[in-house]
Chains A and B, each alone.
Chain A
């Protein structure tokens, strides 16, 4: 029965030994099995038809895209070894890697890329569809070259090539089939460094090394097991005891982070989320009074202590957001109006609006949707209720599950709600969708649900997206940020940092801006 403790003792020994010979461990070596937490369990591993975070994490080992991105979001070679953009910003030419094979042994060619972008993704992928519909022509002049001709310039086109936005899928399996119903979705075939061996639902997903991987000698790991651990406390135990070697995103509750950080066998990093760049914000339904009054929204913004939220709810992870664009995303500008925590100013604004405190101290009653993405958002919601209560805004929290929340928000049936969304490497991919009036579409989540409409903002976002010169684009994005922050269509709260815990026996785990969603071709285990 003391098998586990024996193994633990052995492993502890191994860690000590490697620490002593840290220099020698810098050369990656073959071998090793990595156990990784996955929660919730992904519905499928086919990245083309499902883009949830768990699908992206697990499916990212199978499917690859043309490019990867470093921590500063500079493109790096992926399935494309080089690329050029014509000076007018209309033609993108990608040269593909040689000797790439699908997991079933068939060769990967430019035709697969053309099929993926032109036929497959535009049919099934809600985020890629608008990107590839901008293409006038997608062609493969030879088996190693793909050329995208755009109808007009679109600067963020170069940022669209990570596996959850543009996974390259095998043409020979999907052409002419019903993409969503294709049985091959259960036996995914990609070009990535790991192949799916077995999926025991509710328990684990087993990957084995792809011996024919196009980067010779890689991957270093022999096997990966994704362990489905639905309980937050069980996940902490798994990391603490070394039974799993990697946790990411919201696997570990924020209040457990300080304790795990102190453990000698774990390393904490917050890198690897630069591409996603998630911001949490408080969304106002601008159709409902008093949210249609800018002074009210500013008062709410002033009433919330974002440093407190960061320190006490997120336990130091993240930083207060200054506006609609995340600071790790291109065209961020810090020079915008500021909304420091100032309850007195909030009360003054509310007084100016004529919202006086009643006999019970309440100025106005509003409702707020609890975001059903985990306990941390429940606590954030409770804090906001308290903070607004102090300036006389009585908030009733409505809790719900994802389906109910989604239904209310997409149908505009809310006063306020917390929201979190990724910015996907470029404001034109992940930010403009929330503010341009052409994207006010009832029934569609993550559109412009709050109903913000400003012709100047529409014009600037439209122009900026097609501007090739980055300096010109920056001017427009800076103006956008100043106007939006002054208007406060939503209150941007925090740029989220997620804790990634890595067992110190593993190296090179987080190597790009998509972090744990990347393919792990470079990850290796130090010698025993």
Chain B
């Protein structure tokens, strides 16, 4: 009951925060010089006064800023995300098209990095000081320090160009109509390189963190007590050490999960993955205000939701933590 009340309270707060974010974002992106009409004239190599006026009138940019803001907030409250005049389509459609590929990519990478990262961290902690520990630590450091795009490009060079095992870019084979399992397999093949590239970095973070946290916990008194009671080593590791060591990892994973929806501009660009990160990045360059605000809103909502979920997970992992405290 207490938990439900807590969740309800946080949801109400979340909505207020979200509205604040909408207003702030709206004003912030207007501070950037230029507007969509300038961009379109700049790209076309032409643009007289009439052209700029027409575009601004069509985009509603000729209205006072306060009126534009009011209209936008009114629309958002009714869940109307507006229209991308540049692409001539409702923002909701664009987001709905771009979100699933992003979630597939970031979700896969997130799970992969969390599971493998924690497993590697545990493994390293168990054999601390030995060569396999050093190997894991060095690899983790390597992937932590290497830029994503470089890892991605090297992956493409090795697995696509040299070996020809995996497709270099895209989300599915264009021009071959596939369905069902064949399609899933095809998307899966295309997913391997970008998901790995994205996962490697986070995997390194989780592995290092789990290892450090495990090493800290395993020397504490309650672990010694458990060992004195004669509990099996595996049991101690799982129930006493890992469960206590995992909290900081949950915190970091929670923060990272908030970014899932924002996608990864770098990985989506290198692999031509049709996700939302690229949509947002291009919207910035093109000053496509409504699209950008839509992405911002969606990611803010996601961050708020994930923060809430993280707090609930805390209380599940460690019952001593009280909700709402």
Contacts and interface: CB of A to CB of B under 8 A. Distances in A.
Nearest to B276: A202
B39 interface: yes
A71 interface: no
A231 B175 contact: no
Given A50-B40, A202-B98, A203-B174, A230 B48 contact: no
Nearest to A33: B175
Nearest to B174: A204
Contacts of B170: 203-204, 227
A126 B38 contact: no
Given A4-B160, A126-B44, A223-B175, 12 more contacts: A4-B165, A201-B97, A202-B98, A203-B272, A234-B272, A238-B168, A238-B169, A241-B168, A400-B33, A402-B285, A444-B49, A446-B45
Contact of B41 (A2, A227, A446): A446
**How many residues of A sit at the interface, in one of the four size bands?**
35 or more
Contact of A202 (B48, B86, B161, B279): B279
A264 B29 CA distance: 48
A44 interface: yes
A229 B273 CA distance: 9
Interface string B269-288: 11110110011001011110
Contacts of B54: 124, 180
A403 B285 contact: yes
Interface string A1-36: 110110010000000000000000000000001010
Contact of B164 (A4, A405, A444): A4
A441 B272 CA distance: 40
Contacts of A230: 269, 272, 278
B98 A126 contact: no
Contacts of A444: 41, 47-49, 52
Given A233-B153, A403-B35, A446 B174 contact: no
A463 interface: no
B20 interface: no
Given A51-B45, A51-B46, A237 B169 contact: yes
**How many residues of B sit at the interface, in one of the four size bands?**
35 or more
Interface stretch (B87-95, B115-123, B236-244, B313-321): B87-95
A245 to B, nearest CB: 12
**Top 9 closest pairs, chain A to chain B, by CB:** A403-B34, A202-B274, A5-B164, A406-B42, A126-B51, A407-B34, A51-B44, A52-B43, A406-B38
27 contacts: A4-B160, A4-B167, A5-B164, A51-B45, A186-B89, A201-B87, A201-B98, A202-B279, A203-B170, A203-B171, A223-B175, A230-B278, A233-B270, A234-B168, A402-B42, A402-B286, A403-B33, A403-B34, A403-B35, A407-B33, A407-B38, A410-B38, A443-B52, A444-B48, A445-B38, A445-B42, A447-B48
Interface string B9-40: 00000000000000000000000111110111
B285 A202 contact: no
Contact of B42 (A227, A231, A405): A405
Contacts of B279: 201-202
A403 B44 contact: no
Contacts of A482: none
Contacts of A496: none
Contacts, number: 177
Nearest to B168: A237
A68 B48 CA distance: 26
Given A229-B272, A231-B270, A446 B46 contact: yes
B168 A402 contact: no
Given A238-B169, A403-B39, A403-B285, A127 B46 contact: yes
B42 to A, nearest CB: 4
Contacts of A403: 32-36, 38-39, 42, 285-287
A181 B58 contact: yes
A400 B47 CA distance: 20
B274 A201 contact: yes
A231 B272 contact: yes
Contact of A445 (B41, B171, B274): B41
A113 to B, nearest CB: 22
Contacts of B164: 2, 4-5, 8
A241 B157 CA distance: 11
A408 B41 CA distance: 13
Contact of A240 (B49, B51, B161, B163): B161
Contacts of B182: none
A443 B274 CA distance: 35
Interface in B143-184: 153, 156-157, 160-161, 163-171, 174-175
A124 B57 CA distance: 13
A86 interface: no
B174 A225 contact: yes
A228 interface: yes
Nearest to B38: A406
Interface in A407-447: 407-408, 410, 421-422, 441, 443-447
A223 to B, nearest CB: 7
A57 to B, nearest CB: 13
A404 interface: yes
A441 B47 CA distance: 11
Nearest to A422: B45
A40 interface: yes
B50 interface: yes
A421 B47 CA distance: 13
A231 B269 contact: yes
B165 A2 contact: yes
A243 B168 contact: yes
Contacts of A223: 175
A41, A52, A186, A203: which has the most chain B beta carbons within 10 Å? A203
A234 B161 CA distance: 11
B168 A126 contact: no
Interface in B186-221: 189
A207 to B, nearest CB: 11
B174 A227 contact: yes
Contacts of B88: 43-44, 185-186
A200 interface: yes
Nearest to B189: A1
Interface in A383-403: 400-403
